[in-house]
Amino acid sequence: MKFQIHVLPFALFFHLIINPVTFYAMAALVALIIGFSKGGLGGTLGALATPLMALVMPADQVIGLILPVLMVYEAKNWHGVFAGTVAGFSSALAHTGGPPISIYLLMRRVPTHIFNATSALFFAILNWVKVPYYVYAQLFDLQQMRSLIWLLPLLPLGVWGGKWAADKISQEVFEQVIVALLAMTALLLIFS
């Protein structure tokens, strides 16, 4: 890694002390600032990250370095990151990403409508992300898709039925149903 700076008039004195220790000290300070920002002091504090790192490395390298840090710290906790990673991986392999997300949301004890909305949004995004890779791997069979097009009207009917059922049962029963479905899924995955 090159340790250079863009010499700005107000930062000229930093040029004399740039070394690995200064670089890593600034990186540690920036990581703490990002953490404080995400933890409750607002995005304004986090806006200091890029200019501070630009004091010890080129700005074009800073933006590439800071983005992954910002993305990782967008997660409220590591359980969610883990569940999302496992769900994404298993969904890409066999469309079995539901269990990790369901377990995570059950552990968070989110209300039924938030559980359903979060799951729907997560998998809508994930499924669209998979499309280019599926096209590249030639996993789509257009003739087979055409033969199953008659199934499309059943999807909104299923959505309506699921929403109706979720609205009629208590949170406790909803969670029991999800656990039962998780157990059934596990058994099917193990024995099929």
21: its two tokens: 């220790």
Residue 189: phi and psi, rounded to 5, are -70, -35
- Which pLDDT score is estimated for 170? 94
Spell out the domain ranges in the chain.
9-72, 78-191
Banded model confidence at residue 145, pLDDT cuts 50, 70, 90? confident
Instruction: Say how far apart CA 124 and CA 135 lie, in whole Å.
Output: 17
Query: Could you tell me which of 28, 12, 106 has the C-alpha nearest to residue 69?
Result: 28
Write out pLDDT tens, residues 125-135.
888 888 898 88
CA dist 18 and 103 (Å) reads 47
- pTM comes to 0.60
b or e along 157-187 (b: 16 or more beta carbons within 10 Å of the residue's beta carbon)?
eeeeeeeeebeeeeeeebbeebeeebeeeee
